[in-house]
Amino acid sequence: MSQWSEDLISIEHAATLDGLFLQRVRRSPERIAYRFHDRDRGWQQLTWRAMGQAVARWRAALASEALSSGDRVAMLLRNGPEWVMFDLAALSLGLVTVPLYTDDRADNAAYILQDAGVKVLLVQDAGRWKRLAEVVGTAPWPPRVVLLDGGAEALRLAADDPRVRVADAWLPDTAPVPPAREADPRGLATIIYTSGTTGRPKGVMLSHHNLLSDAHASVVLIAVYQEDVFLSFLPLSHALERTGGYYLPMMAGSCVAFARSVGQLAEDLQTIRPTLMIAVPRVFERVYARVADQLTTRPAPVRWLFRLTVAVGWRNFLRNQGRGGWHPLLLLWPWLSRKVAAQVLDKLGGRMRAAVSGGAPLPYAVARTFLSLGLPLLQGYGLTETSPVITVNPIEDNLPDSVGVPIRGMQVRIGANDELLVKGHSVMLGYWNNHAATTLVLTHDGWLHTGDQARLAARHVYITGRLKDILVLSNGEKVPPADMEMAITMDPLFEQALVLGEGRSYLSSLLVLNGDLWTGLAQEFGLDPAAPVSLEDPHLVRDMLKRVRVALSDFPGYAKVRRVTLTLEPWTIENGLLTPTLKVKRSEVLKRHREAIERMYCMET
């Protein structure tokens, strides 16, 4: 770390996102910008100079489409250098980029293409375009479709449909690197459609200044160096990955490596050995659950040693934070850190100097365990509407049960019903084609209604609930289902959970069991794992209900689940029960399981 260097590009020097890129190419032409995996050649890398040349080719191809400044272009791509190239090329022409999720449903993607009036669509491969084309039909949008991956099917589609081109044929062999352009930093840069859990998605309009402000304020709070290596695996369509894992590293001059897939993440962590990582809580929860599950089969002395490591590590963390004093047990920490904690952190590559968790609440037990093992795990909070970071915990003042402190330039206050209101340079311009929705969340003087309830203590923010997600029982008691669901899924047997009870006299829950553990669980109860009726076995259901109650033991007495329904069918994006950002569509799940829910309440009095 003593030889690591900062080379931060200021907002003023960048002016726009494409200006940021040109500044980086000039400052660090020979440094490694990106690493990616090629099926035939293995891991490859690109310098900033090579990226500049590649972006120029994409820019020339887009310019050949007779587009006008402000026109919208979209990308339906996996994370990779081409995502970045297309985005930067479009921005350099004054175009507005619209990212789509590769695993989103075709009808959702088609709606976005129509709503945004997309002129050019870059698609990963022929298969994805064929699924989308079935919904798009002969609609006039988009008039140009470019397929990134070639092959016989892509060539056939290009021959049959005048809209379709294959990228290799569409891109020129070379193109001159363009000069910096004069542009309004507060002009529209991108429209990111929120994956709402109800209704159609809304297009969040973000300017160049919005995104640059958020990235710069974040990097000021958590120092990032040229020598840092990020591992990118959250979709770049997600605002957190786009700002924190793309624009921010570019601003700092760091390298970004694109993970191959979530399934290969463990292997990629070992290969890339990142120093920084941005993830959603589920990644850390799974590592935590895997460690806990493995410990159950280890001898008692091993389990005791791990618990001792966590206990001593937590004391060490508190002391380093200035919130705890010295204790004789701390004499054991150097040995425990080397012999126990390092074995867990080596699974993350062994070089991780910080990890940021956002997008959903991070369970306190998970955060405490990783912090105790020596990983600075920082919980943050934000919204797509704020580009997205609002708060994050600093390394030196990390309160894991909070979502951190406001980033520079972000004002926060508590409004009616304890709602968190925010105001700052990164707050959106509004919703695309939806003035009514904009006026509901943005006040005339720029305060954004987050929809989340919060409290402020000193400079830290604590999220306490969601205005729309509170369940009110028939007796008037109010319960936070998201907190309860998070507690339930800390049990490795439960992959997903939904707590119900609005207007009812008691709570119930739909539980998706972990498919990997189901066979062993069924055999334990003498059940046939292949028989659907096994999920309704009274002894199994009673035992699962007992496990749920143990998971909820810290909640008030009235927040007790009295009925459960078990299922093995996960809620996924493909079956329409999850949004592309992996949030449960409660209303859709309720429709799908309507009969089971009614059975859980048929005895209600």
Residues 6+ apart with CB under 8 A from 591: none
10 Å Cβ neighbour count for 594? 10
CATH of domain 283-466: 3.40.50.12780
CB 590 within 8 A of CB 597: yes
Residue pLDDT, tens place only, 392-439: 999 999 999 999 999 999 999 999 989 999 999 999 999 999 999 999
Same fold, 283-466 and 471-600: no
pLDDT at 195: 66
Q: Following CA atoms 255, 218, 442, 109 in sequence, which dihedral angle do they give, to the nearest 10 degrees?
A: 20
H helix or E strand, kind and range, residue 479: strand 478-479
- Along the chain (605 residues), what's the average pLDDT of each consecutive run of 10 residues? 88 98 98 96 98 98 97 98 98 98 89 97 97 94 97 96 97 93 96 74 96 97 96 94 98 98 92 95 84 90 97 98 97 98 93 93 92 98 96 97 97 96 98 95 97 95 85 75 89 94 89 95 95 95 95 81 95 88 86 93 69
Tell me which CATH homologous superfamily contains domain 471-600: ANL, C-terminal domain (3.30.300.30)
The set of residues, in sequence order, having a beta carbon less than 8 Å from that of 169 and lying 6+ positions away, is: 158
Residue range 587-605, pLDDT digits in tens:
899 999 999 999 999 866 4
Predicted pLDDT at 218: 97
**What digits encode the pLDDT tens for the residues 554-576?**
787 778 899 999 999 999 988 98
Is residue 62 exposed (0-12), middle (13-18) or buried (19+ Cβ within 10 Å)?
A: buried
pLDDT of residue 104: 86
Closest CA to 219 of 258, 265, 149, 276: 276
Q: Give the domain ranges of the chain.
A: 42-183, 283-466, 471-600
pLDDT confidence of residue 605:
46
Nearest to 345 by CA among 376, 317, 375: 375
Mean pLDDT, all residues of the chain? 94
User: Using alpha carbons only, what angle is made at residue 419 by residues 378 and 480, rounded to the nearest 5 degrees?
Assistant: 75
pLDDT tens per residue, range 440-480: 999 999 999 999 999 999 999 999 887 877 787 776 677 87
**Architecture of 42-183 per CATH?**
3-Layer(aba) Sandwich (3.40)
